Amino acid sequence: MSVAEILYEQYKVLPENIQKELKALINGKDESVSVSIKALKGAVKEVKKLKEGKTQGRPISELFMELENEN
Protein backbone atom coordinates (compact mmCIF):
# COMPACT_ATOMS: atom_id res chain seq x y z
CA MET A 1 0.00 0.00 0.00
CA SER A 2 1.41 3.37 -0.96
CA VAL A 3 1.63 6.34 1.37
CA ALA A 4 -1.09 8.07 -0.63
CA GLU A 5 -3.41 5.09 -0.17
CA ILE A 6 -2.70 5.03 3.57
CA LEU A 7 -3.42 8.74 3.87
CA TYR A 8 -6.64 8.35 1.90
CA GLU A 9 -7.79 5.45 4.10
CA GLN A 10 -7.12 7.58 7.18
CA TYR A 11 -8.95 10.51 5.59
CA LYS A 12 -12.05 8.39 4.95
CA VAL A 13 -12.49 7.56 8.64
CA LEU A 14 -12.33 11.20 9.76
CA PRO A 15 -15.57 12.92 10.74
CA GLU A 16 -17.16 14.90 7.91
CA ASN A 17 -16.41 18.30 9.47
CA ILE A 18 -12.72 17.40 9.86
CA GLN A 19 -12.63 16.21 6.24
CA LYS A 20 -13.98 19.60 5.14
CA GLU A 21 -11.37 21.43 7.21
CA LEU A 22 -8.61 19.28 5.75
CA LYS A 23 -9.85 19.93 2.21
CA ALA A 24 -9.91 23.66 2.94
CA LEU A 25 -6.33 23.52 4.20
CA ILE A 26 -5.17 21.59 1.14
CA ASN A 27 -7.03 23.78 -1.36
CA GLY A 28 -6.45 27.07 0.45
CA LYS A 29 -3.99 29.43 -1.16
CA ASP A 30 -3.47 31.56 1.95
CA GLU A 31 -2.86 28.67 4.31
CA SER A 32 0.41 26.86 4.63
CA VAL A 33 0.95 23.62 6.46
CA SER A 34 4.33 22.57 7.67
CA VAL A 35 4.94 18.83 7.78
CA SER A 36 8.00 17.21 9.26
CA ILE A 37 9.24 14.47 6.94
CA LYS A 38 10.70 12.68 9.96
CA ALA A 39 7.31 12.73 11.72
CA LEU A 40 5.52 11.61 8.56
CA LYS A 41 7.89 8.67 8.11
CA GLY A 42 7.38 7.73 11.76
CA ALA A 43 3.63 7.80 11.30
CA VAL A 44 3.83 5.58 8.24
CA LYS A 45 5.97 3.08 10.18
CA GLU A 46 3.38 3.04 12.97
CA VAL A 47 0.57 2.37 10.48
CA LYS A 48 2.57 -0.51 9.02
CA LYS A 49 3.08 -1.95 12.52
CA LEU A 50 -0.66 -1.66 13.19
CA LYS A 51 -1.48 -3.47 9.95
CA GLU A 52 1.01 -6.24 10.81
CA GLY A 53 -0.44 -6.58 14.31
CA LYS A 54 2.88 -5.70 15.95
CA THR A 55 1.43 -2.83 17.97
CA GLN A 56 -1.89 -1.78 19.45
CA GLY A 57 -3.78 1.31 18.43
CA ARG A 58 -4.96 3.96 20.82
CA PRO A 59 -8.36 5.55 21.25
CA ILE A 60 -9.14 8.36 18.82
CA SER A 61 -10.01 10.56 21.80
CA GLU A 62 -6.31 10.53 22.78
CA LEU A 63 -5.36 11.73 19.30
CA PHE A 64 -7.85 14.59 19.43
CA MET A 65 -6.63 15.62 22.88
CA GLU A 66 -3.04 15.58 21.60
CA LEU A 67 -3.98 17.69 18.59
CA GLU A 68 -5.84 20.20 20.77
CA ASN A 69 -2.84 20.50 23.08
CA GLU A 70 -0.53 21.33 20.14
CA ASN A 71 -2.43 24.55 19.46
Q: Chain-centre distance of CA 31, in angstroms?
A: 18
Dihedral of CA 14/7/27/67: which sign? positive
Q: Chain-centre distance of CA 8, in angstroms?
A: 9
Report pLDDT digits (tens) over 11-63. Answer: 888 888 888 888 888 887 655 667 788 888 888 898 888 888 888 877 888 88
What pLDDT score does 30 carry?
A: 59
Of 17, 31, 30, whose CA–CA distance to 64 is shortest? 17
Cα gap 70→43, rounded to integer Å: 17
What pLDDT score does 32 carry?
A: 62
So where are the chain's domains? Answer: 3-70
What pLDDT score does 34 carry?
A: 74
Contact status, residue 55 vs residue 49, Cβ threshold 8 Å:
yes
**pTM (predicted TM-score):** 0.40
Asked if pLDDT for residue 71 goes beyond 80, the answer is no
What pLDDT score does 68 carry?
A: 84
